[in-house]
Amino acid sequence: MSAIQLYTETGTLEGVILHPPGPEVENMTPKNAERALYSDILNLSVARREYNQLECLLQKLVPTYRVMDLLKDILRSSEIREKIVKKACYNEGHPKLIDQLLVLNETQLAKQLVQGVPLERNTLTGFKSDEHFSLRPLHNFFFTRDSSIALGDRVLIARMANRVRDREALIMQSIFDYHPRFRVQTVNPGDKTDQGQVSIEGGDLLIAAKNITLVGLSNRTTSRGIDFLIKMLSGRKEKHHILVQELPSSPESFIHLDMAFTLLDSDSCMVYEPLILNSNKYQTIQIDVDNGKVESIRNVENLVKALSSLGMNLKPSYCGGQRDTMTQEREQWHSGANFFAVGPGKLIGYNRNVHTLEDLNRSGYEIIKGRDVLDGKIDPESFNKYVLTIDGAELSRGGGGVRCMTMPFRRKI
């Protein structure tokens, strides 16, 4: 049995990889926050407290794995650690760090690979440098969704749009290639393509069904990246449908498709109405692939209607409700459309998006405080459909929601 089984967004979750935010989140300043892909700098203690609610909830419901634990496991092998260290150092232009890093034990090395290698000030160049690190911290790594994507029984390694995140993809590929828990087939577009024009990130990919994949055409996922995905999916024997949703280039809250559309159950979805349902200039494109060839590419009206034509009739719930566009915009900015399913109709999301939650409640979802579950006051399994809410005042300022912070690798079909 393959360790990887992901043919649905909402099937009962059987395994998820997490990375609680660590010192790498604070290892930035207002001067380099934009380069680190943040519009602000986070308070680590608050972000950790909020993330702990998510991790503890998931631990009660499903098997969870931490990136740092998996990374330390594989770094015990001298052969694997040498491969990872050499690739990271050569990719980032610091081959002189190789010997320094290889003498560290697996715990120390894992920390430096994620939290950054401080720049030594033992030369005039180093002394005068404005940089603080030789290998920069992975500020965004707690968004584990982005750097690797389980697709069927394989793992697609993301080609990150920004080189500051390349080491995240390297670490995740190493875990899936070498850890005895996985050892699965990984596919890396960076190994085989024109790297300057290809990017694809996990937040833009949604697995609607075994033969239907949704993908966002965004600042982070290019048309060449989607072409690579199409080629990968066309290798399957059965017919496959790829629905492409073009996203605005600004504001930055439209970073990925899952910031505007997520699947909640086999018959329901969350939409940011102005983009997904209303008439606008952003295209929705359907690509049909069969027997290894693209049969057709055409414009369709929107994702919901296209999915209906393929046999998935989804009732939409509305990010920010339907009262006014200002509320919709505010809640979309704070990841109001970004929900993560632990099972069909069993969701986790931020508690701050009150109008979104009210709309879900009108659709039959029980809104449950995550703290009440952790305190043993409520058993969520006594409800058919629910949303467990966590605090997100600080985490949402990092630019993502609960789906962004989870990398599922196995679900029941």
d(CA 241, CA 221) in angstroms, rounded, equals: 18
Predicted pLDDT of residue 36: 45
CATH number at residue 87: 3.75.10.10
Segment holding 234, helix H or strand E? none
Instruction: Tell me if 6 is assigned to some domain.
Output: no
Predicted pLDDT of residue 37: 46
d(CA 132, CA 32) in angstroms, rounded, equals: 10
Predicted pLDDT of residue 116: 93
- Domain that includes residue 287, residue range: 13-411
d(CA 11, CA 7) in angstroms, rounded, equals: 8
Predicted pLDDT of residue 119: 80
Instruction: Tell me if 4 is assigned to some domain.
Output: no
Predicted pLDDT of residue 110: 98
Instruction: Tell me if 348 is assigned to some domain.
Output: yes
Ordered strands of the 154-157 beta sheet: 148-151, 154-157, 186-187
Instruction: Tell me if 27 is assigned to some domain.
Output: yes
- Give me the number of domains the chain comprises: 1
pLDDT truncated to tens, each residue of the chain (413 aa)? 579 999 999 999 999 999 999 999 887 666 654 444 455 678 899 999 999 999 999 999 999 999 999 999 999 999 999 999 999 999 999 999 999 999 999 999 999 999 999 887 676 666 556 777 889 999 999 999 999 999 999 999 999 998 889 999 999 999 999 999 998 989 998 765 555 689 999 999 999 999 999 999 999 999 999 999 999 998 877 899 999 999 999 888 899 999 999 999 999 999 999 999 999 999 999 999 998 899 999 999 999 999 999 999 999 999 999 999 999 999 999 999 999 999 999 999 999 999 999 999 999 999 999 999 999 999 999 999 999 999 999 999 888 999 999 999 999 98
Asked whether 342 and 13 are in contact (CB, 8 A), the reply is yes
Instruction: Tell me if 7 is assigned to some domain.
Output: no
Asked whether 88 and 113 are in contact (CB, 8 A), the reply is yes
Asked whether 115 and 44 are in contact (CB, 8 A), the reply is no
Instruction: Tell me if 5 is assigned to some domain.
Output: no
Predicted pLDDT of residue 132: 75
**pTM of whole model > 0.85?**
yes
Predicted pLDDT of residue 38: 53
Instruction: Tell me if 321 is assigned to some domain.
Output: yes
